[in-house]
Amino acid sequence: MDSLNLKNRTVVITGCAGGLGLAFAEALASVDCNIAALDIVTEPPTALCQLRSAHGVKVEYYKCDISSRSQVSEVIERVVADFISINLVINAAGIVQDEPFLWTSDHNIEKTFAVNFTGSFLVSQACAKQMVKQYQGVHGEKRAERTEAAIIFIASIATHIASSAQRISCYTASKAAVRGLVAPLAAELAPYGIRVNSLSPGYTMTAMMQSLQKEQPDLVGQFEKETMFGRIGLPDELTGATLWMCSDRLSGWYTGQDMLVDGGASSWKHPAAL
């Protein structure tokens, strides 16, 4: 898909061992992007490794605790050494725990914000420093006339409409903090040709949702009723929006925004009763 103008770009993706991170890696590899995959697990999944032979792109896996500044700095240095440049960042790593607000634990608060917010901040900061170096190496101090790089945060439908089926105030607050980064970072990084946006997915059938479907089928049934299509979204139904936001040719005038892709769940007062 030459129209995307993504061939040979290097994308750093967190949470790449599964879920949306892996789906984004598969979509970007299919349009000839090289993948620098970050996750906390020791070994990368087979599906990630197979992208090399399936699409003829470079794929490297880096074990990293993204809430650790020292680990992030070391890993991004390795990424630059391996790939030479960084063009795109997708912050897909995230965790959620259903816990009543009145009894939310310190552990939940600290862990959720460490992964969802701090991790996204640190990875984006480290990658943006490299993006600025790349820009200045070509353009000097001249302000950007066209965009050349992009950072995408993964927010959530939960920051647009409160859930009556789950008790996820801590998760929602962490994702609201992520959305809060978008506008100020877009303003700060625009002179260097870097766009900054967020994607807010609705209910999506990731491995986490599949586990929830087995453990709490009534809850997932509620999620299904809340969408206009009466079903849970699929990960590949988010990849089109992601590819569009990554492409400077298609979305070069789009920055500082949040894109909500939720099957209409936040747009109507659904008739389902809890």
Domain-embedded: residue 42 = yes
Indicate if 192 belongs to the active site. Answer: no
Number of domains in the chain: 1
What confidence tens digit (pLDDT) does each residue in 82-118 have? 999 999 999 999 999 999 999 999 999 999 999 999 9
Residue 40 belongs to a domain with what CATH number?
3.40.50.720
Domain-embedded: residue 215 = no
Question: Over 60: is that where the pLDDT of 77 sits?
Answer: yes
Indicate if 61 belongs to the active site. Answer: no
Give the chain's mean pLDDT.
94
Domain-embedded: residue 210 = no
With CA atoms as reference, report the closest residue to 1 among 54, 55, 71.
Answer: 55
> Is pLDDT larger for residue 177 or for residue 218?
177
- Domain of residue 109: give its range: 2-204+234-261
Contact (Cβ atoms closer than 8 angstroms) between residue 116 and residue 209: no
Question: Over 70: is that where the pLDDT of 29 sits?
Answer: yes
Domain-embedded: residue 269 = no
Question: Among the options 67, 120, 124, 156, which is catalytic?
Answer: 156
What amino acid is encoded at 123 in this protein? V
What pTM was computed for the model?
0.95
Q: Which residues pair with 153 in a beta bridge?
A: 91, 198
Question: Among the options 61, 62, 171, 192, which is catalytic?
Answer: 171
What confidence tens digit (pLDDT) does each residue in 42-62 have? 999 999 999 999 999 999 999
Residue 144 tokens, joined: 């950007």
Rounded (5°) CA angle 226-227-233 = 125
Domain-embedded: residue 27 = yes
103: left (phi over 0), alpha (psi -120 to 50) or beta: alpha
Indicate if 124 belongs to the active site. Answer: no
Domain-embedded: residue 211 = no
